[in-house]
Amino acid sequence: MATETRIGSKIAWDDTVLPFQLDRSGIRGRVARLDGLLDQVLAQHKYPPAIEALVAECALLTALIGQSIKLRWKLSLQIRGNGPARLIATDYYGPEKEGEPARIRAYASFDADRITETTDPFSLIGEGFFAVMLDQGEGMLPYQGFTPIAGGSLSACAEAYFAQSEQIPTRFALTFGKSQEPGQSGGLHDSGWRAGGIMLQHMPQTGGIAASEGSGEGGLLTHADILSGAPAEDWNRANHLLSTVEELELIGPSVTPTDLLVRLFHEEEPRVFDAQPVRFGCSCSEDKVRNTLSIYSQKDLAHMTTPEGIVTADCQFCGAHYQLDPATLGFEGAAAGDAG
């Protein structure tokens, strides 16, 4: 849920994802705290508040999910709908080297004329789908998984995706919104974005799913269709404990992620691993723009050329602006000829 609160300044565990495991329950999870990363993501565009909330929630989900996957290159989330929020897209790039941060970028496409201040952010999506895409790089086939927009939040969509596509019970508890430091006036430029969340996942189970149709909305699978017996009891107990988490525990400066895990799950024997730093980062470059335009002829490029005699391209994620000489572009361009 979105929130607004007063907090302290930047703290050590901001922009990190902490992996953990509940040894008693056979459950793994992640704790994420995002601060400066969200400010950088949202500073690239002037989004309405409801769109900002959707992008913030999606970025937080991306941080939690991306860190839980053995990733060689990129995880992407896409939310597409027929409502005013046409597209929310995020990318998570795994660390290139051990000890380096992961990188996240995000953007939204929307119909501003159909958005009002009182609109519930999730309702802006309408009917559509929630997609998870994995690209493990050269030599690996990409993966795509889809689930319908349902459940009242993006986190509910993500839970449904894991139940349907992976048959893994998953639960998210998220908080995100604007915050301001004590003593500040509370003006527009005095506040910044913060987000915090916990992700729980039951370890994969052996055997198939007993239910022919899920018990969730629209026949989607839920944890009750996947787990039974002792694993179901463990899952229900951990979820009950997670339900006691408070917003300030997720985003405030007083409780560290490790202290929070002990407070919530001390009887489940929590065990933590090394935290992963995350930063804002974009993969766009002039070379990639040139490669995208390499399929066009000089005749095609003439229609893209401005009166000033240049071809321009803007990155939707980071706002980078590229100005290129059309004579060097396309499969007939000078640059293509030089490469041969």
CATH of domain 286-339: 3.90.1280
Q: Decide: 218 and 150 in contact? Cβ < 8 Å.
A: yes
Question: Which H or E element spans position 332?
Answer: none
Q: CB-based burial of residue 309 (10 Å sphere; 0-12 exposed, 13-18 middle, 19+ buried)?
A: exposed
Q: What is the model's pLDDT at position 152?
A: 95
For residue 308, give both structure tokens. 């000033």
For residue 216, give both structure tokens. 């969730």
Distance CA 179, CA 2 (A): 11
pLDDT digits (tens, 9 = 90+) for 187-206: 444 568 999 999 999 988 65
Our CA angle for 258, 54, 66, nearest 5°, is: 45
Report the CATH fold assignment for 5-280. Answer: Hsp33 domain (3.55.30)
Q: Do domains 5-280 and 286-339 have the same CATH topology?
A: no
Q: Decide: 175 and 247 in contact? Cβ < 8 Å.
A: yes
End-to-end Cα spacing for the chain:
54
Sign, CA dihedral 175-128-156-30, equals negative
DSSP character string of 292-309: HGGG--HHHHHTT--TTS
Q: What is the model's pLDDT at position 129?
A: 97
pLDDT digits (tens, 9 = 90+) for 271-316: 999 999 999 998 888 898 888 888 888 988 898 899 999 988 888 8
Q: What is the model's pLDDT at position 183?
A: 52
The ranges assigned to domains in the chain are 5-280, 286-339
Tens-digit pLDDT profile for the chain (340 aa)? Answer: 554 443 444 568 899 999 999 999 999 999 999 999 999 999 888 899 999 999 999 999 999 999 998 888 899 999 999 999 999 999 999 998 888 999 999 999 999 999 987 679 999 999 999 999 999 877 788 899 999 999 999 999 999 999 998 899 999 999 998 876 555 544 444 568 999 999 999 988 655 554 456 778 878 878 778 888 999 999 999 999 999 999 999 998 889 999 999 999 999 999 999 999 999 998 888 898 888 888 888 988 898 899 999 988 888 888 888 888 989 988 777 665 454 4
Question: Which H or E element spans position 99?
Answer: none
